[in-house]
Copies of this chain bind each other. A is one copy, B any other.
Amino acid sequence: MKSPIKSTEYREPQATTEELDVTLIELLFFAYRDFTSDPDAILASYGFGRAHHRVLHFVNHWPGLTVAELLDVLRITKQSLARVLKQLIDTGYIVQVQGPRDRRQRELYVTKKGHELAVELALPQSRRIRSALEEAGIKDRAEVERFLRAMVNPELRAQLDRSHSSSGTGEGGT
């Protein structure tokens, strides 16, 4: 490699020094960036952002979720959630129901409109995943799932169990 300038100020070109997994680090960056780009475009037309997407997704997938549980899943603060949640409620995508057992709680549910938007947002992502699995010739889809799952902090994997009891596509939807 060449260095146009001789100085101690900057380094010679170099890629990886140690056991740095630059390849997978970058692949995760690029993959996630494009993975979120599809819903982002749709959201923009609704005047929503990525934060709304996350809320809508989890409420749709996990109906009756309380505010505290949602905060725990998203790992954001109450104040950050408040704004987007209020917007989603005001515009009729999500409704709150007083908790039946504990009336301090607010159970969250998507409306029909909310469900439809959640599906609209999940579709392009699912399509992208499906074609990626095909294109990459993945024989054992469970392997990819296990890898991604193992990337999650161990103490937070409980969240995964809560949101989908077992692995696989089928969630028993009708």
- B-contact bits for A150-174, CB 8 A (1 contact / 0 none): 1111001001100110111111111
Contact check, B132 vs A27: say whether CB atoms are below 8 A apart: no
* Residues A17 and B136 in contact in the complex (CB < 8 Å), given A4-B100, A111-B10, A152-B31: no
- B-contact bits for A12-42, CB 8 A (1 contact / 0 none): 1111111111111111111111110100000
Q: Shortest distance in angstroms between A57's beta carbon and chain B's nearest beta carbon?
A: 7
Q: Size class of A's contact patch? A: 35 or more
Which of B4, B63, B107, B159 contacts A14 (CB under 8 A)?
B63
Which of B20, B96, B170 contacts A126 (CB under 8 A)?
B20
Which of B17, B30, B123, B133 contacts A20 (CB under 8 A)?
B123
Known: A2-B97, A33-B75. 13 other contacts (CB 8 A): A1-B167, A10-B110, A11-B114, A13-B64, A14-B173, A15-B61, A15-B166, A15-B171, A26-B61, A30-B148, A34-B151, A132-B148, A137-B143
Q: Shortest distance in angstroms between A69's beta carbon and chain B's nearest beta carbon?
A: 14
26 interchain pairs, CB-CB under 8 A: A2-B97, A2-B174, A11-B110, A11-B112, A13-B64, A14-B63, A15-B164, A16-B173, A17-B119, A17-B174, A20-B123, A20-B173, A21-B126, A22-B122, A23-B167, A23-B169, A24-B129, A25-B126, A26-B61, A26-B164, A27-B160, A28-B35, A31-B148, A33-B152, A128-B151, A136-B146
Contact check, B151 vs A11: say whether CB atoms are below 8 A apart: no
